[in-house]
Amino acid sequence: MLPAGKITEATIEALAKLMQPGDVIIDGGNTFWQDDVRRGKALRERGLHYVDVGTSGGIWGIERGYCMMIGGDKPVVDRLDPIFKALAPGIGDIPRTSGRDGRDPRIEQGYIHAGPVGAGHFVKMIHNGIEYGLMQAYAEGFDILKNANIEALPADHRFDLDIADIAEVWRRGSVIPSWLLDLTASALAQNHTLDTYSGFVEDSGEGRWTVNAAVDEAVPAEVLTAALYTRFRSRKDHTFAEKILSAMRAGFGGHKEPPKKA
Amino acid sequence: MLPAGKITEATIEALAKLMQPGDVIIDGGNTFWQDDVRRGKALRERGLHYVDVGTSGGIWGIERGYCMMIGGDKPVVDRLDPIFKALAPGIGDIPRTSGRDGRDPRIEQGYIHAGPVGAGHFVKMIHNGIEYGLMQAYAEGFDILKNANIEALPADHRFDLDIADIAEVWRRGSVIPSWLLDLTASALAQNHTLDTYSGFVEDSGEGRWTVNAAVDEAVPAEVLTAALYTRFRSRKDHTFAEKILSAMRAGFGGHKEPPKKA
Amino acid sequence: MLPAGKITEATIEALAKLMQPGDVIIDGGNTFWQDDVRRGKALRERGLHYVDVGTSGGIWGIERGYCMMIGGDKPVVDRLDPIFKALAPGIGDIPRTSGRDGRDPRIEQGYIHAGPVGAGHFVKMIHNGIEYGLMQAYAEGFDILKNANIEALPADHRFDLDIADIAEVWRRGSVIPSWLLDLTASALAQNHTLDTYSGFVEDSGEGRWTVNAAVDEAVPAEVLTAALYTRFRSRKDHTFAEKILSAMRAGFGGHKEPPKKA
Amino acid sequence: MLPAGKITEATIEALAKLMQPGDVIIDGGNTFWQDDVRRGKALRERGLHYVDVGTSGGIWGIERGYCMMIGGDKPVVDRLDPIFKALAPGIGDIPRTSGRDGRDPRIEQGYIHAGPVGAGHFVKMIHNGIEYGLMQAYAEGFDILKNANIEALPADHRFDLDIADIAEVWRRGSVIPSWLLDLTASALAQNHTLDTYSGFVEDSGEGRWTVNAAVDEAVPAEVLTAALYTRFRSRKDHTFAEKILSAMRAGFGGHKEPPKKA
């Protein structure tokens, strides 16, 4: 399986030259699904097969297991089934969902043949888009908790909250437990101010592609997009947009900029 | 424990008249935390105590357990501890978070004394605010998956995806498993079009109060707010805002409105 | 006319004591409209009248004229009409809107009796809410123009644009001319990098109250809210939310934070 | 000048075959700027020139004038200058911006050579993106005014506002006058309920491409994006996302959907 990007492209080209008709290339990286579609078509013309596999589970995948989202022609994916079955996490101790009797048994093993070439990475892309939104929802909630004690609030409306404990208690019977909350509770238990982090947040391609897909489909995706934009903003001192605002305010109101606040 | 709103207000007043100094009123509903603060102060002047308890866990609370977020004076909350301990879900089989040794042991039992009167419902409010954001993140992601097959897309960029299976596979080793995903997978397993739902989505007060709190604290909370606004929008045929847009477009471009789309 | 806030409150109380039944207090500041409602009611019980007047026009009001949005009882507002007429900008050379024959002639003079006490500041509040949204729309557009030349883009998709000239040309026949664009074009003509501004953007109460009103009315107001949140964000180095994101990313992916970018 | 889309593509190909080296094709439609870049390159290889011209001004362009945003090689654009000068609105009675002495005089005539091939449509695209944001800002503000009288509000916090008059008074000395406001005031003067409009709002490509550009440049563009998403949403009865929310709410809370509201 291969990493994403130009190296992938070159490697695929190099591999293709060495392969024989009927051989299969599996791209298990974070490839843009439209590149899969293009490549799959090009390789098919040369008698070669292409299968895209999005995997999720992070660095804990080996321990926790990781699910696979697969795109490719049915006979090819079926042929490779032993590989996917061996890699899949298996049903483990995750409770079964009722109403799934008679459905594709591979799903509960932790892998899915989502559709033709590209579908695997498409589904993985949306997984990551959702992940951004979930992360941002928690992050904003904890931010409001953290700022519940600021001086701008009336004295009897301020709370000095222990957010490490709050994160932990929400793991125990609330409506919002998740693995992401587990990770947050763990990070806060070790350092409740998170002052070892600066707050510069990278984004991978998937978050951007998810927004592109939403736009292409005319699906309103406010939350997934806002989550992406927050990351963009986190990497700047100030945007040019903010300077425009300041310039306008100086123009119509003679407003001067305030000193920087923490 | 009491439901929220005017009934609560009247009941508290009625109760207070029957009580003796040192007695405690527990509000276990979804009260607005600023009402708690006000009431707690009024009752204190009469020698009475007030404790606000936010509970989370939905209708499955009895089965799954539910966590409690408590606000009140320390001696009073300590006095009531046997009640909370009895109601709390207990540590059960939820894995422990490392780094919590020496911290308040009540948290792992599923209840927290978050702070003075009002703090319990404040923390519960943020819990629900986050819940809105998480739900909307999943909802948008599934919406993009669902629309991946529309005719407006180029033919080789369309996918006909089984979102019931996708929801299920994400429960098995991905980065985004959660109880909310379990519920979604369950609903989709039973009816993958969800055509028994119209899509009118109510909001409880907590989502609104969360936005108010963000505004009061000057914390940007795009995702939590967008999640709330989606619900507002879901309950309208069209907004007046949209008619304004149509009127402007007719004005500057002579644009006529398109026919309704599904 | 009076400035907003606690000084107003105290001044009104002091004034009220000196007044005789039938006298009128005019609040021409940026008062929160719910305070107007409360005050109007309290003064009415003492036989006094209260009129709230929102004014708009910024520091150029004397030169450009400024419109007035008035709340109060009809007889009182009518009685004060000579004052408003004298202060109003008059019809000037602003083109008339067709279809207004037979409507309230005061409007074209630049003042409106919007409704009972509080309505004046309510309308002024929404004016400012819209202003935030308009400003942010321009600001984001110029930001995208400004960044059209970054190295992350493919070389043949980069443009080095003169945004001062672009702002100016949009004043001349486009769909988006406005006074706010005039101010932007003027600022950019003098300093096209705006490097004399840092980009810390204050918000007045009106933007926040507008969001509160939207939430109370269950009206989705994404744009007005996003414009407010951008200002909140502009005043922070990093949010706590962003540190939460970094902590989660370290947790599930071992991601390290990138170095700061301009 | 040519309309956008496949017809353009075919027409350009047909034209190119008829042309001689040094000839120029002008695309004056709403073409996607990346198509311009691609075409310009292809034509250049055949010795032909390509110039893209974005125009703005709507159907009133003939009366009000319309500005032009031009992309192309300098010698070619200079050669065509007599055409642009003839079409440009000229300085008219729009006040001059101070600080522009010594700058490109074409700008004040209403046209700009923004950069190489593609730059004209890129600038026009951002113009439209901003337009979406401006429109939505007004639309949301009027929506809040319109709903200020709903029964869900406390009786003494309700206002029955004349939004046609409010739109008009804001044209007269406020901070937010614009041509878009003029159009709104005109529409409301004729029909203050706008009940001849349903509220289905189309979007042209430019709004979507603007979001794509923001994402490519990592510029947070919340307002421009929210304005686009509102249009997407306006064309649906309900989103699938909303059904997912309803399904989740039924799952964790047994919540039933409310009846439809106006």
Give the model's pLDDT for residue A173: 87
The answer to whether B230 faces chain C, any CB pair under 8 Å, is yes
A131 and A182 share one domain = yes
Check C13, C41, C45, C124 and give the catalytic one: C124
Name the residue among B130, B136, B15, B14 with its Cα closest to residue B69: B130
The answer to whether A171 faces chain B, any CB pair under 8 Å, is yes
User: Is pLDDT above 70 for C70?
Assistant: yes
ipTM computed for the complex: 0.94
Flag residues of chain A having pLDDT under 70.
1-5, 58-62, 258-262
Give the model's pLDDT for residue C144: 98
B170 and B227 share one domain = yes
Give the model's pLDDT for residue D16: 85
Instruction: Look at residue B262 and tell me if it is in a domain.
Output: no
SS3 labels along C91-153: CCCCCCCCCCCCCCCHHHHCEEEEECCCHHHHHHHHHHHHHHHHHHHHHHHHHHHHCCCCCCC
A138 and A183 share one domain = yes
User: Is pLDDT above 80 for C63?
Assistant: no
| D42 min Cα distance to partner chain C (Å) | 13
Check C6, C41, C45, C131 and give the catalytic one: C131
Chains that touch D (3 or more CB pairs under 8 A): A, B, C
Give the model's pLDDT for residue B61: 65
CB distance C115–D213 less than 8 Å?
Answer: no
Give the separation between CA D81 and CA D120, rounded to whole angstroms.
Answer: 15
CB distance A172–B65 less than 8 Å?
Answer: yes
Flag residues of chain D having pLDDT under 70.
1-5, 58-62, 258-262
The answer to whether A150 faces chain D, any CB pair under 8 Å, is no
The answer to whether C215 faces chain B, any CB pair under 8 Å, is yes
Query: Exposed, middle or buried, B82 (CB in 10 Å: 0-12/13-18/19+)?
Result: exposed
Which of C99, C210, C222 lies at the smallest CB-CB distance from D186?
A: C99
| B262 min Cα distance to partner chain D (Å) | 6
Give the model's pLDDT for residue A259: 59
> Which residue is closest to D215 within chain A, CA to CA?
A208
Instruction: Look at residue D1 and tell me if it is in a domain.
Output: no
**Among residues C116, C142, C159, which one ends one of the domains?**
C116
Radius of gyration of chain C (CA): 23
D90 and D137 share one domain = no
A101 and A157 share one domain = no
Give the model's pLDDT for residue B210: 98
> Which CATH number do you get for residue B67?
3.40.50.720
Chains that touch B (3 or more CB pairs under 8 A): A, C, D
Contacts with A200 from chain C: Cβ below 8 Å: 238, 242, 246, 257-261
Q: Give the single-character DSSP code of C58.
A: G
Averaged pLDDT of chain B: 92
**Among residues C116, C145, C161, which one ends one of the domains?**
C116
Instruction: Look at residue A148 and tell me if it is in a domain.
Output: yes
Cβ A126 vs Cβ A210: under 8 Å? yes
Cβ D142 vs Cβ B244: under 8 Å? yes
Give the separation between CA D73 and CA B230, rounded to whole angstroms.
Answer: 46
The answer to whether D34 faces chain B, any CB pair under 8 Å, is no
Find the mean pLDDT for residues B32-47: 95
* Beta bridge partner(s), residue B26: B51
* CA B104 to chain CA centroid, nearest Å: 25
The answer to whether C201 faces chain D, any CB pair under 8 Å, is no
Give the pLDDT confidence of C5-62 residue by residue, as tens digits: 677 778 888 888 899 999 999 999 889 999 999 999 999 999 999 999 999 876 666 6
Query: Exposed, middle or buried, A82 (CB in 10 Å: 0-12/13-18/19+)?
Result: exposed
A143 and A249 share one domain = yes
Give the separation between CA C158 and CA A116, rounded to whole angstroms.
Answer: 34
Cβ C245 vs Cβ D170: under 8 Å? no
Contacts with B200 from chain D: Cβ below 8 Å: 238, 242, 246, 257-261
| B16 min Cα distance to partner chain A (Å) | 22
Q: Is B168 a catalytic residue?
A: no
User: Is pLDDT above 70 for B60?
Assistant: no
A84 and A184 share one domain = no
Averaged pLDDT of chain C: 92
D96 and D148 share one domain = no
**Among residues A47, A81, A116, which one ends one of the domains?**
A116
B127 and B249 share one domain = yes
> Which CATH number do you get for residue D204?
1.10.1040.10
Window 63-102 of A: residues touching C by CB (8 A cutoff) are: none
Task: Provide φ and ψ at A178, rounded to 5°.
Answer: -170, 170
Check B45, B74, B124, B202 and give the catalytic one: B124
SS3 labels along B28-64: CCCCCHHHHHHHHHHHHHCCCEEEEEEEECHHHHHHH
Give the model's pLDDT for residue A254: 82
Instruction: Look at residue A1 and tell me if it is in a domain.
Output: no
Instruction: Look at residue C261 and tell me if it is in a domain.
Output: no
B·C CB contacts under 8 A: 49
Give the separation between CA B159 and CA B205, rounded to whole angstroms.
Answer: 39
A77 and A170 share one domain = no
Query: Which pLDDT band holds residue C1 (cuts at 50, 70, 90)?
Result: very low
Give the pLDDT confidence of C181-223 residue by residue, as tens digits: 999 999 999 999 999 999 999 998 999 999 999 999 999 999 9
A128 and A102 share one domain = no
Instruction: Look at residue C208 and tell me if it is in a domain.
Output: yes
* Predicted model pTM: 0.95
Query: Which pLDDT band holds residue B51 (cuts at 50, 70, 90)?
Result: very high
A·D CB contacts under 8 A: 49
Instruction: Look at residue D261 and tell me if it is in a domain.
Output: no
Which of C114, C156, C186 lies at the smallest CB-CB distance from D37?
A: C156
Chains that touch A (3 or more CB pairs under 8 A): B, C, D
Instruction: Look at residue D201 and tell me if it is in a domain.
Output: yes
B248 and B142 share one domain = yes
What tokens appear for D112 in the block?
């700009």
Number of domains present in the structure of chain C: 2
Supply the range of the domain harboring residue D209.
123-253
